[in-house]
Structure 1
Amino acid sequence: MKRKSFYVLAAFAACSMMFASCNGSSTPKASLKDPVDTLSYAYGVSLADQGLMQFLEQSGVIENTSNIEYEYQMKISAAKDSLEKQNLEKEMKAKIDSLNKINAPKLNDFIKGLKEALTAGKEKSAYIQGLSIGHQISQQMLPEFNKFVFGDDSTKRIKTDPLLAGLAGVIKNEDLALGKMDANMYIQKEIQEAQNRQMAKQEEQLKEQYKDSIAAGEKFLAENAKKEGVITLPSGLQYEIIKRGSGPIPTDTDRVRVLYQGTLLNGTVFDSSLNRNDPAIFGVTQVIPGWTEALKMMPVGSKWRIYVPYDLAYGSQDRGTIKPFSTLVFEVELLGIENK
């Protein structure tokens, strides 16, 4: 592909935002009466040649002919004789001609809109800017917003009239049916709810993918709960006391110093400050929920083994060795509460 200069890209990018959907147009006739005419014509040719056609194809304004030309040039270069080459050239020309007929009305519309933007004086600059912004909203912003908020529900889409009413009310400084702050809060609420729906949908899909792992964790916890010395809390967290401590019990605002080792149900060690002989220091609420719950019951000097269901551990997160929905086992020794 040819290298596009900054000036050329900037020029046709600006023009491309000024499309107007109009009926009927024709290509202006070239009349090269003086050097300025020639320079003007050459500049138009250069603009189109330096990427505009590719831009129109990629934007879906016109059908792509470049791929057809490339495909047939490859076939023609590999042709066995002149007859095969001629037939391929005719076939290529027929296909390109067919696409050109499809593209012609769209290109006429494009040229008419382009001409309107190029010839508009100051009195029309606001109108042209409206076309530009309207194109960006309708072709880029609205499709993305609709897909994000409404997902696959094709019956729900942002409506043009109320959108324009809200937009015009603000720029004309009129009384609004919904204040700016309320409107922004409403949008944020809808976006958050859409995000929550997407996350819930993704989690359900992951749960189906990891259903065997979930079942294994549930089976393990059910059997483990029957063992002597294992205590099951209402949250589902289980623990057993290896060594009883007699010191103070941490609260939400404390920082603690601990030695620990974490393993998967198959015995794989995924982290161990014990092996490193390097106590970890962190806030009581800065760890997974299962840890926080256990720490707020442990006197300093205690050593517990805690069994953490996936919803009190890392949930649907994939953390490498720790796969989504993993039930985890930790040995935790609470060495002390750090000074604030």
Structure 2
Amino acid sequence: MKRKNFFVLGAIAAFAVILSSCGGGSSAPAASLKSDVDSISYAYGVNLADQGGLMQYLEQSGIIQSASNIEYDYQMRIAAADSTQKEALQKEMRTKIDSLNKVNAPKLNEFIKGLKEAMKSGEDNSAYVQGLSIGHQISKQMLPQFEDMLFVEDTTKKINNNQMLSGLIATLKNQNTAISKMDANGLIQSRMEEAQAKQQAKQEEELKVQYQDSIAAGEKFLADNAAREGVVTLPSGLQYEVIRQGNGPIPADTNTVKVHYHGTLINGTVFESSVDRKEPSTFGVTQVIPGWTEALKLMPVGSKWKLYVPYDLAYGAQDRGTIKPFSTLIFDVELLGIEN
């Protein structure tokens, strides 16, 4: 899975100018990572400021001056320096960033006051409408959406606002964070992928109830088919029947192959056929459904096999038009050659 950024502030260009003056305090709550939820909350705050676009918005709006150029310049110089120069350059970089932080502090503190006030109250206040707009968006939209994605239906778990703000504010102020930006991004990414996998598994179980007749028909077909002479059933559940055995090389994962194929459902409905198109197809051995990949790595070039593919080695719960979820598929596959 490609990496994704789940936290981009899509409407950030429409956010209002920083509030004029408001209460609530501008210091960051102390980091206290006593639980898994605390860590996720803190990481979300760091990620929101660093990867979510908030820091960029503040820089582009002229609220703060960016430290990125300073860090980049010194990191390049530090990488090229010898051991005696590195410490001096790091100290010089820190001094310049501290100086910049002091310049940024007044307006940034005002912004943080409004942000914290919005997170605390969660209610509109006409005197704070412009200054609180980002805090309200986080509180009313982004956090609930993030919690729904992360915790799925576990309503007992909520993001710890104090830890989220602790990570966010420390990042905005260029302070040391209890979780690094890279680790925060990695933690959020991995937990979101886990949550998505759980959600997908839940949805698949619900679909299995809806398509239980199709699943049962496929299982019966494969059970009956396994008893036929000439049909080989592999440990994965894939079945094949040799129509013609070739004597050429056998493809590996890294190969690209040229094949002719004819695919049907167990009721005989044709869903795709290079034979009917009169044009062979070329693709990587691992760029097809798992049942095909497994079979291709057993077939010598010149072979023609009939494959009987259980749904879990085909398209699973996907709905692909003619191929409905949990469909068992049949393919005539002729391996014409290995392209590389």
TM-score class, shorter-chain normalisation, is: 0.5 to 0.7
The match for 2:268 is 267
TM-score, normalised by the number of residues in structure 1 = 0.62
Shift of 1:172: 2.7
Shift of 1:110: 4.2
Shift of 1:288: 0.8
Aligned counterparts of 1:316 and 1:278: Cα–Cα separation in 2: 29
Q: Deviations over 1:205-251 (max 9, x none)?
A: 11111111111111111111111000000110000111111111111
Identity of aligned residues (%): 64
Which structure 1 segments of 5+ residues have no match? 1-11, 23-108, 118-127
The match for 1:206 is 207
Summarize the alignment of residues 164-175 of structure 1 with structure 2, pairs less than 5 Å apart: 164-175=165-176
Aligned counterparts of 2:126 and 2:313: Cα–Cα separation in 1: 61
Aligned counterparts of 1:173 and 1:274: Cα–Cα separation in 2: 62
Summarize the alignment of residues 221-300 of structure 1 with structure 2, pairs less than 5 Å apart: 221-300=222-301
**8 Å CA contact 1:169, 1:176 repeated in 2:** yes
| Larger CA Rg, structure 1 vs 2 | 1
Aligned amino acid, residue 261 of structure 1: H
Aligned amino acid, residue 171 of structure 1: L
Shift of 1:21: 11
1:154 aligned onto 2:165? no
**8 Å CA contact 2:311, 2:327 repeated in 1:** yes
Tell me the secondary structure at the aligned position of residue 223 of structure 1.
Answer: helix
**8 Å CA contact 2:215, 2:327 repeated in 1:** yes
Instruction: Mark the CA change 1:250 to 1:21 in structure 2 (over 3 Å): closer, same or farther.
Output: same
Aligned counterparts of 1:329 and 1:185: Cα–Cα separation in 2: 41
Summarize the alignment of residues 124-143 of structure 1 with structure 2, pairs less than 5 Å apart: 128=131, 131-143=132-144
Instruction: Mark the CA change 1:232 to 1:111 in structure 2 (over 3 Å): closer, same or farther.
Output: closer
1:327 aligned onto 2:323? no
Tell me the secondary structure at the aligned position of residue 144 of structure 1.
Answer: helix
Instruction: Mark the CA change 1:274 to 1:176 in structure 2 (over 3 Å): closer, same or farther.
Output: same
**8 Å CA contact 1:258, 1:335 repeated in 2:** yes
Aligned counterparts of 1:277 and 1:171: Cα–Cα separation in 2: 61
Q: Deviations over 1:178-216 (max 9, x none)?
A: 122111111111111111111111111111111111111
Aligned counterparts of 1:261 and 1:282: Cα–Cα separation in 2: 16
Aligned amino acid, residue 241 of structure 1: V
May I ask how many residue pairs the two structures share in their alignment? 229
TM-score, normalised by the number of residues in structure 2 = 0.62
Shift of 1:132: 2.9
Which structure 2 segments of 5+ residues have no match? 1-13, 25-123
Tell me the secondary structure at the aligned position of residue 305 of structure 1.
Answer: strand
Higher relative contact order (CA 8 A, sep 6+): 2
Tell me the secondary structure at the aligned position of residue 200 of structure 1.
Answer: helix
Tell me how large the CA RMSD over aligned residues is.
Answer: 2.6
**8 Å CA contact 2:15, 2:134 repeated in 1:** no
